[in-house]
Chains A and B, each alone.
Chain A
Amino acid sequence: MRLPACSRRRFFSTVAGAGLALPFFELLQPGRARAANGLAERLIVFYFPNGVAGTSQDGQPSQWHCTGGGSNFELSSQLQPLAGFRDECLFLNGLSMGPTDNGNHPGGARKLLTAADHGNGESIDQMLARTAGADAPFRHLNLGAMVMHDNPSGDAFISYSGPGAPVAPQDDPVAAFEYLFGAGVPGGGGEPGEPDPRQVTVIDAVLDDMDRLRAQLGDLDKPKLDLHLESLREVEERIKNVSDLPATCKDPTLDTTGVVPGSYDPSTFPAVLRAQIDLTVLAMACGLSRVGVIQCAHHTSDIVITQFPGTEMYDPGFNITSHGASHYGSSHAGQNYDAHFQQGRYWADQFAYLLQSLADRPDPLGGGSMLDTSVVLFCTEVSDGNTHEHHNMPFLLAGRGGGAIEPGRLLGFDGDRHAGLLAAIAHAMGEPVGGFGDTGTAPLSGILS
């Protein structure tokens, strides 16, 4: 007799539907709240591909960057969906990712979160997952929406566990939900609320092999084995330190209506992205993680944006890809430009949805809403989609970071490195680094309150 090949899919629906009380890990405890110390509880990075409607080749002004300064500024047309969060966002103009690879997508994606040329460094999200986020059951969430639709090369990913080591996101919200909330494959044999003795035995045996291997190899392939060991320790923690989910998330459920696991049909893109946003917020509200990345497609993606139902650019009679639209020509005009402008608004609208979801939930550790206690970064890998400049990059932060950040302002910089923004995020998360990236840039002034 054969067991069903794919029992875990069914397990997912059982868990989600019946709302079982699951044995769970030691969660982030209110006693550890950072907001009390003016620090952010968590970081979420929201990435979208192919730049914005920036300054055009023939000199038309950016439709993404805001104008004005300080608290006296005008929200740009592409950012209108954020009108309700004007006072919760810190808008940033004039930041540069440096001259290396200026003018292309992959070079921008490699530098975006590493601030290191050619992706030759750990990205800010991974660094913070390893440090500020290390006390969470899952130190890093990396969720994607159709990132893998065309089997891209590694330069499509933005999160780097180390130099030259990008990490692929999970595109399937159903599988990701199961990863975070499922209690492994059934049949482990533990008592509810207690560690599963067999899994304890197994993880101890695996760690023992790891010790032998490291002793045997010395320094050979050490970064690889260090990462592997840290990863096993995270699993060990979850197996051994079991506790119940907090009352606020006893029955974790995820609405995956419209999501077809394994499908890359663009008509399901909005449903997938919505589910990944919901899952990120849910996991963080349940205290499972402090650091998450949400990656929408990837640079130069051929995803057909005019087939995203319910969006401004939806047009079944017109086929344009995300990348195709971004190459709208030298001027802010024409059908491609319209689609590019609209996709920028769509990403801003989805970002607003994320912010609303955070604002709607009280932080389980106290300190106001989850938006009040978070730092949320909105970013893409080039500035204008057509000129591909790495200067005047479209960055913005949202949330108050537990008091570390004072939003509701527009800050203008003069070509300062975005490494300084990433360093400031580290400070907001309670990691006072001297600098970040391959230039070791110190935190930008004006970001931290």
Chain B
Amino acid sequence: MLVAGMATGSGCRDRGDSAAGTDTDTGTGGPGGAYDAGLTEGDSETETDGEPGDACMASRAPRQLRLLTRHEYDATVHDLFALVDPDSCSDDAQCPAGATCEGATCQIETVLPTSFEIPGQGGWNSVHLAGSFNDWPGTVAEGGWALDYDAGAGTWTGSFEIPAGQHLYKLVIDESDWVPDPSNPQTADDGFGGSNSVLDVEGQTQVVPPRSLTFTEDLPAEVRPTGYPFDNNAATGLVTPVHAEQYMRAAQAVAAFAVAESDAWLPCAPEGDGSVCAQQVATQLGRRAFRRPLDDDEVSKYADLVTGEASFDDGLRVALQAMLASPYFVYRFEVGEPQGDHFVLTGYELAAALSYGLWGTTPDDALLDAAEAGELSSAEGVQAQVQRLLEDPRAREQVGTFAVQWLEVEKVATIDKNAAMFPSFDAALRRSVLEETRRLAAHATFAGPGGFDTLLQADYTFVDAALAGLYEIDPPDTDWAQVAAPPGRAGILGHASVLAANAYPDQTSPVRRGLFVRRALLCQELPDPPPDAGGVPDVDPNASTRERFEQHMNDPYCASCHQFIDPVGFGFEHFDPVGAWRDEDAGHSIDATGQMRGLESLSDDVQDFSTIPELASIVAGSESAPACFATHYFRYTHGRLETSDDECALENLARRFSEAEHDVVALIVSTLTAPEFMVRR
């Protein structure tokens, strides 16, 4: 189905249409082992063709090995050896980059920008600062810091980041007259019969948390295929030579830590030749590390490694390094056992899938015990474990991780924002910006009513002092607090994470913000712009951002696609490139009215909105948004992009999600207990 009004034939259509017509090969559709009867009961109401309960057996989840992500690797070794991130430091190396260890805390020296406000005098064309901080340049072209004239106040003003310490400077008028700053009484003889102004800049010491114990920082980044925003794609999780080397090193480093603190996890004390304890370590630790019991040969192998060195500790280091560099550790298995014409995950494999899916880490003993006892071969048994895992705080963290990956906002930690325009948007604030989204996602999922709808529309959010500063609201009394959503904001669409991730370093981007709504929230793909599309319109002091981007709408060729994008993005114009509220766009008044055209399928219907909460309400009221969210959760847990074979499974998930009134926990449960989660082809 092509979209109405697409006379230009630009191919703007939604993703759903592309799969239509390439219908599934329904295959043989045999039952998925012991689960089917219980787990697909709800499917009897499905309108999908085919036999109830069998419909989704067309899903062709592949048998595969899934490489642990860096995050999963670190979480796993923390769990195996009860490693605790340090809360104090004894060495600079334990502190984040740029920080030093002073006393027992990591500290970063920062300076706030220094502001200048010089009373103006008639006839000046330019004023710039020249001093010890910028090497006394005679002109702006040579690096002088230009002040701007504020005609209303009659002053020359500017704000600059100047390092802590004492500085000397002068004002340079019209790049010829060097004079001391009349607004600064502190002066010193300049040695030429005149005087320099003296400026003392005080540094601010900020305490930051020590680095967490990470062992994976030198592993290559995970490869996220186009359109797959998560870090756990199974197909691209490959062990290159760099990985192999870094796994050896990471394993060696973990082993060193683990042996130094073996009190925390070693199940026994070595006696005699240590062989009894070695057997116990191989058996117990091996089961958790490999997420299955080791067979006798494996136990002997690892026990022999422990006893094969001069001391028990040396042997333990060797055995642990070997175990953690083993393919049985770095992959988790979705291989299954044959059952008829398909395969069903073993209880242990399912335990790992549930644990990494819900906690991002290795199964605990209770989950492995349940697998060993065969409890995971029944629907009730799986349900019970899913419920138990969901009650753990790690499930909340994992939902936060899912959210920031789904929304593709993690990049906010590193993307460039113009430091002169947004001096407060530093590393700490960037962390807070991401934390807000994690917290709201966890809260909407587990605590708040409304689930997914709340995620989109919440009239509350979470802030710390830094974020409260960005949002211009009162700082909370505690570290983090739940507060009413700042004016003009609702849910994730009002989060600085989303707003900053979808903007340029120095200007907003109605296109990126509009595309974000289309792609991340509605799963609608728009074609790439044609080769000869222009770029971002230049910053033009005579036009607002909206006016500059509106050229897309005046050209019918551009408008065929941009009619779905820009009018959505214009609705965000009150939020600057780092997500702070703005009343003006570089001196221009802001028109933040927007238009959602073709909400469900890029058709011709139009809904107007004038605030972000209104847009959030339109999106939340759609069928596409919750279905899209369910699709993303499916991708995340399956480690792959869906194919046309998965259509039925996705329809079922969306239908159940809607029946559960968009309760996210219900979506999690139905995804992890669906037959396609356990059956492989």
Interface residues of A (CB under 8 A from B): 1-10, 57, 102-104, 106, 138-140, 142, 148-151, 153-155, 157, 161-162, 164-170, 172, 175, 178-179, 184-185, 187-189, 198-199, 201-203, 205-206, 208-210, 213, 217, 220-221, 224-225, 227-228, 230-232, 234-235, 238, 260-266, 302-304, 307, 316-317, 319, 321, 323-324, 326-330, 334-336, 386-389
Report yes or no: A165 in contact with B236, Cβ–Cβ below 8 A: yes
Report yes or no: A179 in contact with B535, Cβ–Cβ below 8 A: no
Report yes or no: A227 in contact with B504, Cβ–Cβ below 8 A: no
Known A220-B335, A261-B97: A203·B505 in contact at CB below 8 Å: no
Report yes or no: A388 in contact with B531, Cβ–Cβ below 8 A: yes
Report yes or no: A6 in contact with B322, Cβ–Cβ below 8 A: no
Interface residues of B (CB under 8 A from A): 63-65, 86, 90-91, 93-94, 97-98, 146, 210-214, 217-218, 220-229, 235-236, 238-246, 248-249, 251-253, 256-257, 260-261, 301, 305, 308-309, 314, 317-318, 321-322, 325-328, 335, 408, 410-411, 414-416, 418, 420, 504-506, 528, 530-536, 538
Total contacts A to B, CB within 8 angstroms? 233
Known A198-B314, A228-B244: A324·B535 in contact at CB below 8 Å: yes
With a cutoff of 8 Å between Cβ atoms, the chain A residues found around residue B257 in the complex are 3
A151: contacting residue among B327, B410, B528, B536, CB under 8 A: B410
Give Cα distance in the complex from A209 to B244, angstroms. Answer: 14
Known A185-B249, A203-B248, A327-B536: A235·B236 in contact at CB below 8 Å: no
- A–B Cβ pairs within 8 angstroms, 5 of them: A153-B226, A168-B221, A201-B318, A231-B241, A266-B416
CB distance from A265 to the nearest CB of B (A): 8
Report yes or no: A164 in contact with B225, Cβ–Cβ below 8 A: yes
Known A151-B410, A161-B238, A235-B244: A103·B305 in contact at CB below 8 Å: no
Report yes or no: A153 in contact with B414, Cβ–Cβ below 8 A: no
Report yes or no: A155 in contact with B245, Cβ–Cβ below 8 A: no
Give Cα distance in the complex from A321 to B228, angstroms. Answer: 25
Known A167-B240, A324-B536: A106·B226 in contact at CB below 8 Å: yes
Return the chain B residue nearest A175 by Cβ. Answer: B218
Report yes or no: A6 in contact with B211, Cβ–Cβ below 8 A: yes
Report yes or no: A5 in contact with B411, Cβ–Cβ below 8 A: no
Interface centre among B244, B256, B322 (most CB of A within 10 A): B244
With a cutoff of 8 Å between Cβ atoms, the chain A residues found around residue B414 in the complex are 148-151, 264
A154: contacting residue among B225, B242, B322, B532, CB under 8 A: B225
With a cutoff of 8 Å between Cβ atoms, the chain B residues found around residue A8 in the complex are 249, 253
A170: contacting residue among B242, B308, B534, CB under 8 A: B242
Report yes or no: B318 in contact with A198, Cβ–Cβ below 8 A: yes
Report yes or no: B244 in contact with A5, Cβ–Cβ below 8 A: no
Report yes or no: B248 in contact with A184, Cβ–Cβ below 8 A: yes
Report yes or no: A4 in contact with B91, Cβ–Cβ below 8 A: yes
Report yes or no: B531 in contact with A185, Cβ–Cβ below 8 A: no
With a cutoff of 8 Å between Cβ atoms, the chain B residues found around residue A227 in the complex are 238-240
Known A3-B256, A151-B414: A224·B531 in contact at CB below 8 Å: no
With a cutoff of 8 Å between Cβ atoms, the chain A residues found around residue B220 in the complex are 167-170
With a cutoff of 8 Å between Cβ atoms, the chain A residues found around residue B223 in the complex are 154, 157, 165-168
Return the chain A residue nearest B223 by Cβ. Answer: A154
Known A3-B257, A153-B224, A220-B335: A335·B538 in contact at CB below 8 Å: yes
With a cutoff of 8 Å between Cβ atoms, the chain B residues found around residue A187 in the complex are 252, 256
Report yes or no: B240 in contact with A210, Cβ–Cβ below 8 A: no
A-B contact sample (18 more), CB < 8 A, given A138-B241, A302-B505: A3-B257, A149-B414, A153-B226, A155-B225, A167-B223, A168-B221, A175-B217, A179-B246, A184-B252, A188-B252, A209-B326, A220-B63, A224-B239, A235-B245, A264-B416, A265-B416, A319-B418, A388-B531
Give Cα distance in the complex from A397 to B506, angstroms. Answer: 37
Return the chain B residue nearest A264 by Cβ. Answer: B414
Closest 10 CB pairs between A and B? A327-B535, A103-B531, A231-B244, A205-B322, A154-B223, A228-B239, A151-B411, A6-B93, A388-B531, A4-B93
Report yes or no: B218 in contact with A179, Cβ–Cβ below 8 A: yes
